Amino acid sequence: MAFPEGVKYAVVGAGIHGLSTAYHLAASLRASGRGSGEDVLIIDKTAIAAGASGIACGVVRNNYFQPAMRELMAQCVEVWESDPKAYSYHPVGYMQISPESMHEDVGTIYEQQKAIGYESTFIEGEADSMTYMKGLFDDWQAKGITSVLHEKKGGYANNTASMYGLATKAEAEGVRILTGVEVTGFEFASDGGAVTAIQTDKGKINCEYVVIATGPWVSRFWDFLDLPRSISIKGRDGQQHDDVAMWKYWCLEEGTLGVDPNMHKTNDGAMPPVLHVDSNAPLYADEDGSLITEEMWGIYYKPDFNFGGIQGGAAPYVVDQNPYEVAIDPYGPDSPDFIVGDNFINMWCSALAHCQKRFEGQIRYYKNTDPSGGLGCFTPDSFPVFDVFRENAYVIADSNHGYKMIGVGKLVAQEIMGESSKLLEPFRFSRYAEGKLHPVSSSPFPWS
Ligand SMILES: Cc1cc2nc3c(=O)[nH]c(=O)nc-3n(C[C@H](O)[C@H](O)[C@H](O)COP(=O)(O)OP(=O)(O)OC[C@H]3O[C@@H](n4cnc5c(N)ncnc54)[C@H](O)[C@@H]3O)c2cc1C
């Protein structure tokens, strides 16, 4: 493709949000007669799926304590279900398996799923939870579980394959995807307001509108837009909190047990739902019985032919580094080494064995050679910011919730076309100043 001098809509980032926004924007432009996919250009410094979307575990679920997140996820699941083949989507369902400290929160999620018509089953009490789990997996043995939320929808999708599915749809609409071009800044109108052009390492591209969908690189673009690195927040307690960092980083630890994925089927031979287990039962090492933790812990896992085994992860940890240095290129060759270590491997494999007997003694099959995990960039309250800045710069900052959020691009496209979205409204930047924060759950994960 010849280097373009200008385009109406420039989308930076060829991950889930950039591709989805571009595709839906192109389709809306065509359907409304207001333009076509040729008015939309995606720019990525590396390639399609080069960022977080290309390494994500790919779990798609509704299980969120925050009503606004649940409603948004229900819309996203509909988009996944609209073309499972193209999106490489496996609708196996999802289970949240919890101890007593989370019982009430998860019960609320169940009630609200009923209210929005999202199909799920809720099992309460230790004995009934055990019976339900043994009905699915006869080797189930996790202790101290007192509730099971079984979402019948959701599941997981294959990370890279789904990105290519989206890219194919976007290109079929006429969208151009320019890879190997790095955005290095913006030019603004003479009044200092709107973005008028994108500066890249290969030259300037004029544009009328820009969508920033750069995943964990978002803080760099925040700087390009000259937005504040720290903000004031009105807390849920009504108190003012000043000087809160806009971005923080967590490292997501994930890995794969290199066994035959078929070893983790249900009693009736079906592919199982994605399992997410939180527990406060003491966790002991599978290999030598030593105590790993008596604190709350959590894991998730699924059989995955793409990763070649049982793939999943555990709760992430905060990255204690200057985020603005890390943010330069969280997945680049010079990025810090975030590959998971022995503690994760021991903890995750032992937790698998804690839950199901079939995983006892399997730690030796852990795929130590495959890099896994990665960085997530989180907002001050760890929920997304979907908003327009400087008149024409739409920032999609999903706070690392976003592989499952395939429907957000559709809603962003709708907003760019002039129709504001009720589902995106709770995720505006102004919520920090106004104190309209999302409720916080008792899960050990920053994304639940
Ligand atoms: C290990 C891991 C597992 C995860 N698992 C899940 C999961 O199971 N389910 C879930 O819902 N979410 C999951 N997430 C979160 C999810 O992956 C991200 O929230 C989501 O993929 C972000 O998508 P994005 O399109 O915003 O960004 P990305 O997919 O990161 O894409 C951003 C793109 O921007 C490009 N870019 C960056 N800077 C520039 C520049 N200067 N110029 C041009 N291009 C640029 C990059 O090359 C990249 O391709 C996981 C995240 C990680 C790290």
- State pLDDT tens for residues 118-150: 899 999 999 999 999 999 999 999 999 999 999
pLDDT of 371 > 80? The answer is no
Residues with Cβ within 8 Å of 282's Cβ and at least 6 positions away in sequence, in order, are 291, 293, 294
Local confidence band at 192 (pLDDT 50, 70, 90 cut-offs): confident
Give yes or no for residue 130 CB within 6 A of ligand 1: no
**pLDDT score recorded for residue 398:** 97
Task: Provide the number of structural domains found in the chain.
Answer: 1
Per the structure block, which two tokens stand in for 56? 């994500």
Give the pLDDT confidence of 30-48 residue by residue, as tens digits.
999 999 999 999 999 999 9
- Asked if residue 271 is part of any domain, the answer here is no
Residue 437: inside a domain: yes
Confidence at residue 139, expressed as pLDDT on a 0 to 100 scale: 98
Nearest CA to ligand 1 atom 25: 15
Give me the percent of the chain exceeding a pLDDT of 70.
Answer: 94
User: DSSP labels for 11-68?
Assistant: EE--SHHHHHHHHHHHHHHHHHTS--GGGEEEEESS-TT-SGGGT---EE----SSHH
C-alpha 332 – ligand 1 centre gap (Å): 13
Asked if residue 211 has its Cβ within 6 Å of ligand 1, the reply is no
Cβ–ligand 1 distance for 213 under 6 Å, the answer yes
Q: What are phi and psi of 280, to 5 degrees?
A: -115, 15
In a domain, 418, yes or no: yes
Ligand 1, atom 39, lies closest to the CA of 45
Helix/strand/coil for 30: helix
20 is a domain residue? yes
- Residue 335's pLDDT is 60
- The single residue listed with the structure tokens 């010079």 is 334
User: Is 345 close to ligand 1, i.e. is its CB under 6 Å away?
Assistant: no
163 lines ligand 1 (CB under 6 A): no
**CA pair distance 81, 154, nearest whole angstrom:** 9
CATH of the domain at 188: 3.50.50.60
Q: What is the pLDDT of residue 440?
A: 82
Instruction: Tell me how far the alpha carbon of residue 55 lies from the centroid of ligand 1, in angstroms.
Output: 8
Q: Is residue 366 part of a domain?
A: no
The token pair at 160 is 């890279």
Closest of 367, 169, 369, 156 to residue 273, by C-alpha: 156
- Tens of pLDDT, residues 316-347: 888 866 555 665 666 665 565 556 677 899 99
pLDDT, mean of residues 290-297:
96
Instruction: Report angle CA 189, 30, 28 to the nearest 5 degrees.
Output: 70
Is the CB of 18 inside a 6 Å radius of any atom of ligand 1?
yes
* Mean pLDDT value of segment 384-395: 98
Per-residue pLDDT at 212 = 98
CB hemisphere CA count around 201 (13 angstroms)? 9
Report pLDDT for 88.
97
Token look-up 């070649």 returns 308
57 lines ligand 1 (CB under 6 A): yes
- Average of pLDDT values for 374-384? 91
Ligand 1 centre to CA of 153 (Å) is 23
CA 372 centroid distance within chain: 15
152 pLDDT more than 60: yes
Work out the average pLDDT over 290-312.
95
Task: Tell me which residue range forms the domain holding 397.
Answer: 1-90+154-239+381-448
Residue 28: enclosing H or E segment and its boundaries?
Answer: helix 16-32
Residue 155 Cβ < 6 Å to ligand 1: no
Cα 69 to middle of ligand 1, angstroms: 18
What rounded mean pLDDT belongs to the chain?
Answer: 93
Residue 284, domain member (yes or no): no
**Nearest-5° Cα angle at 376, 65 to 300:** 55
Mean pLDDT of 369-393: 90
- 329 Cβ inside 6 Å of ligand 1: no
